[in-house]
Amino acid sequence: FIPSLLLKVGFGIVGDRFFWFSDVEFARETLAGVNPYSIQLVKEWPLTSKLDTQIYGPQESAITREVIEPQIITYGTIEKAIKEKKLFMLDYHDLFLPFVSKVREIKGTTLYGSRTLFFLTCEGILKPLAIELTRPPMDGNPQWKQVFTPASHSTNLWLWRLAKAHVENSLCGGTLYNCNT
């Protein structure tokens, strides 16, 4: 153990036992996770999938201008944020969607394709703006997708935390699998 490293890593835990709930910690863990290179600069809008619409449903993301711009209103528009390289996306939508149906066939399990949109603040902190969870058409039902945004009260706060947990599960899934084999 190197005490200085222990302090740097553990400061959030010592200062606030619920620090791991915070959006700042969610973004930090995403960058410090098993695949930090999966976060990409957003270069075009709207966000779309490249998967076959006949199999996976509509390509358009449910993360829309109406969802994002109120959160960056003091900064400006989505176009300005893209031009100034302030929007980033963790995109596990196209990677995971082909496996969702198979995973969901296993009793007691679930999986979603996910997109997480981040904004780089003027303080240099990544702020999560929205998480989209998606299931492809299956069992006779159409594609399902829902967007979750940061909230500070009641049910929406817990739905936001649950959406972040699904994304974090995607980030660590390979690690857990490798530990189990």
For the chain, residues with pLDDT lower than 70 are 1-17, 35, 171-181
* Helices and strands, number each (H, E), in the chain: 7, 5
Tens digit of pLDDT for each residue in 34-70?
A: 767 788 999 999 999 999 999 899 999 999 999 999 9
Which pLDDT does position 18 carry in this prediction?
Answer: 75
Which pLDDT does position 8 carry in this prediction?
Answer: 38
pTM comes to 0.83
Which pLDDT does position 6 carry in this prediction?
Answer: 36
**For the chain, percent helix, then strand, then coil, each to nearest 5?**
50, 20, 35
Which pLDDT does position 130 carry in this prediction?
Answer: 97
Which pLDDT does position 118 carry in this prediction?
Answer: 95
DSSP string, 61-89: -S--HHHHGGGGTTT--HHHHHHTT-EEE
Which pLDDT does position 173 carry in this prediction?
Answer: 57
Which pLDDT does position 11 carry in this prediction?
Answer: 47
* Token pair listed for 177: 């699998």
Q: With H, G, I as helix, E, B as strand and everything else as coil, classify residue 135.
A: strand
Which pLDDT does position 14 carry in this prediction?
Answer: 53
Which pLDDT does position 159 carry in this prediction?
Answer: 95
Which pLDDT does position 21 carry in this prediction?
Answer: 79
User: Whose CA is closest to 92, among 163, 161, 176?
Assistant: 163
Query: Domains of the chain (ranges plus CATH)?
Result: 20-180 (3.10.450.60)
